[in-house]
Amino acid sequence: MISLTSNPIDIASAYKYLQADGAGAIDLFLGVVRDNTQARPVDRLEYEAYDRMALSEMKKIADEACRRWNILKFVVIHRTGLLRIGEMAVLIGVSTPHRADAFDATRYIIDTIKQTVPIWKKEVFTDGEIRVNATP
Amino acid sequence: MISLTSNPIDIASAYKYLQADGAGAIDLFLGVVRDNTQARPVDRLEYEAYDRMALSEMKKIADEACRRWNILKFVVIHRTGLLRIGEMAVLIGVSTPHRADAFDATRYIIDTIKQTVPIWKKEVFTDGEIRVNATP
Amino acid sequence: MNASINVLLFGITRDITGQTAIQHPLAPHARVSDLLIQLHGQYPRLADIRALLVAVNGEYAEPDTKLKSTDEVALIPPVSGG
Amino acid sequence: MNASINVLLFGITRDITGQTAIQHPLAPHARVSDLLIQLHGQYPRLADIRALLVAVNGEYAEPDTKLKSTDEVALIPPVSGG
């Protein structure tokens, strides 16, 4: 399941979706808005996406993960719009029979999302300055 | 936060506990009861623990993880008693400023729990046979 | 009647152009690299972006990809999702 | 009056002994290895466990750890949590 949403991401429904009788392991990675970037205090983030392409690039990444690892179910949800400190920007979840695959696949998906998916973050600092396109 | 419990593990409260203003990443690993072990159908599992020592060994593991990685908050919850297919036997959660630490620490904690924490699994197969102490 | 192509803008390219999309004239047999050169001429600050990619119809495109007026082109500055 | 020590049993050692704890006589200056030898004599199937460890007061103990009657001893067969 892949989605872009401007609503808060719900971890419980992601977990529910990931359940499978053959699953022995579920890894959930949550990317959260932190209160600073390189020690500079952050007020909020704004995420903008090229929706159609973001969805298709996320699908490519998930498909590649399914080729590399034994994945039973996966969830990739990226939020867009205005996000405050502590809010979830992204949730990646993978269920697998054994745990190594769950960790490896989840990590691959988030690492690759950060490289190829057309989503952009605008950081608004507490001093009012705005920074576009700072890659983490 | 470290606990042993005979009640179902609640992912939402674990997530809530892990939140921290400086957290940019949260990794949650869930160990789930799968419907088979080496292709043999499983009916249920029963987990038994040497409670006092299981708690102190889990604490040692979490302390070591906190020495190795920059961890803001952690949750380690292991369930005991009778578990059915799909139920969570263990939840490990770690929040960190950056994602590599969250993945590494979570994986270290679950891998080490499986080696040193005095908890034992009894597998009850659908044909009624019971197997004690099969290490995965 | 001159052909034109629709170019979607994202991230810092929106700030540079002040727009979310532009209609740009399309020369016959134009390729992605031709379009980029023209846009750089029109908006010199685009050249400051360290790795500006172009998508055509929702897929990353090479500099020699040919363009037609019905294509949906997008400028893709370095992504920062996740 | 003979000293004795309380030995907690877990996992397969419960199945082998049919008990969750046993009181075992404790010789003066006995060490963990002495206790294990005696228990192996009493329950030969304990020797089938490929790596049977012993905890004393909730900590993994070495074979030469000395025992006293107030210690809480536990037999720790290979763990399988997680």
The mean predicted confidence, pLDDT, of chain B is 95
Residues of chain B with pLDDT under 70: 133-136
In a domain? residue D82: no
pLDDT recorded at residue B113: 98
**A109 pLDDT more than 70:** yes
Could you give the percent of chain D with pLDDT greater than 70?
Answer: 99
What total of structural domains would you count in chain D? 1
Q: Which among B77, B98, B97, B103 is positioned nearest to A100, based on CA atoms?
A: B103
Interchain contact, A27 vs B31, CB within 8 Å: no
In a domain? residue C66: yes
Q: What is the full DSSP assignment across D27-67?
A: -TT-BHHHHHHHHHHH-GGGGGSTT-EEEETTEE--TT-B-
CB B72 within 8 A of CB B22: yes
Task: Give the separation between CA B76 and CA D66, rounded to whole angstroms.
Answer: 33
Contact flag for B and D (3+ C-beta pairs < 8 Å): yes
Instruction: Provide the whole-model pTM.
Output: 0.94
| Alpha-carbon distance values, C37 to C12, C15, C24, C59, D77 (Å) | 18, 19, 12, 20, 71
Which domain, by its residues, includes C30?
A: 3-76
The mean predicted confidence, pLDDT, of chain D is 94
pLDDT confidence bin for A136, thresholds 50/70/90: very low
What ipTM does the predicted assembly reach? Answer: 0.93
Rounded mean pLDDT, A114-123: 96
What CATH number did the domain enclosing D32 receive? 3.10.20.30
Residues of chain C with pLDDT under 70: 1
Min Cα–Cα distance to chain B from A103, Å: 7
In a domain? residue C82: no
pLDDT confidence bin for A133, thresholds 50/70/90: low
Residue of D nearest to B30 (CA): D82
CB D81 within 8 A of CB D15: no
Q: Where do the domains of chain B lie?
A: 2-127
Contacts of B30 in chain A (CB under 8 A): 15, 25-28
Average pLDDT per consecutive 10 residues, chain D (82 residues; last block may be shorter): 89 94 93 95 93 96 96 96 94
pLDDT recorded at residue B134: 43
Q: What is the full DSSP assignment across chain B?
A: -EEEESSPP-HHHHHHHH--TT-SEEEEEEEE--SEETTEEEEEEEEEE-HHHHHHHHHHHHHHHHHHS--SEEEEEEE-EEEETT-EEEEEEEEESSHHHHHHHHHHHHHHHHHHS-EEEEEEETTS-EEE----
CB A109 within 8 A of CB A69: no
Interchain contact, A30 vs B32, CB within 8 Å: no
CATH number of A2-127: 3.90.1170.40
Q: Would you say the C-alpha torsion A16, A19, A24, A26 has a positive or negative sign? A: negative
Neighbours of chain D (3+ CB pairs under 8 A): B
